[in-house]
Structure 1
């Protein structure tokens, strides 16, 4: 993985001369391979300026790297999303809770199907179907984060990033976010059903209150 200290001396010289007043100079952990050319992507702080330097130390005109700059920016943003938000979502206890919720609902369905009103069984069935979808979407989030992380690690290890790398990492973020949105929608759609199940269990089936966090699936 590249860092500023590991850059070739002639690259560091060009980078420092470009903005000598910067408090900190950093670089993309990999060279960016674009249109047959490899660039070092340099960032300056606190000015937040960017500089692209060819391997021979020459600085290309802006027109040559205009699109490359946008691609790298998207790659960095997507990568940051994977390792921060994505990691948090992937490592949350949601998957375990959804499996437990699904198990509870299956047990309730078996115990109540002969005595509960049809409306209550419909609520249980809707929540059971929803629990399965929630578990599937949580698996999509985990797999997307895992794939995105593998792509970032590979780019750092090989010290090469391409436009295709950017596309793949961004696709992981899109898949992850879509699954998260679906999860939120699912929980909203079944909120009333969960409350009705809880009320029914409190008044009809159980003498002791059933733990709300199990029933709500939250």
Structure 2
């Protein structure tokens, strides 16, 4: 019984969703004689790019020159052989232009890749340089710390040193230097 009711409600829900009009139609009502507004992606797709515009201009120029050449042939001003030569020259020129444009694009891509590679290498170099500087500073600090620990006077050592030098309390003044024993002729072994 429960399954049958669930199926019934499911069927009613589907029927309601089918009857509901689309949201975009509700938001953008258009008058009977008025054209439907194009969506943003469609409008973008209709707009030609700069490269397409350049290509169309070149094609239009070639069509015009071909038309002029055809008129000249029909009028008898240009022979067929000459027209063929001109057409071949025009085709070769168009091919050269296309190739040069492709080469420019390839060169730009190469330069971009090279620039990115150099930037990545510079970043790696800078990072390794900073790491080595930090390691050097750490090593210097370790050496200084070891030197300080090794050569630091122990407790009571300073007082003994001062007494020996004749500065501290309990000292009898600076120690006198012992006169060197004079060598005599008799002290030499014979």
Over alpha carbons, which structure has the higher Rg?
2
Q: What is the TM-score when the length of structure 2 is the normalising length?
A: 0.28
Higher relative contact order (CA 8 A, sep 6+): 1
Q: Which has the higher helix share?
A: 2
Q: Which has the higher strand share?
A: 1
Q: What is the TM-score when the length of structure 1 is the normalising length?
A: 0.25
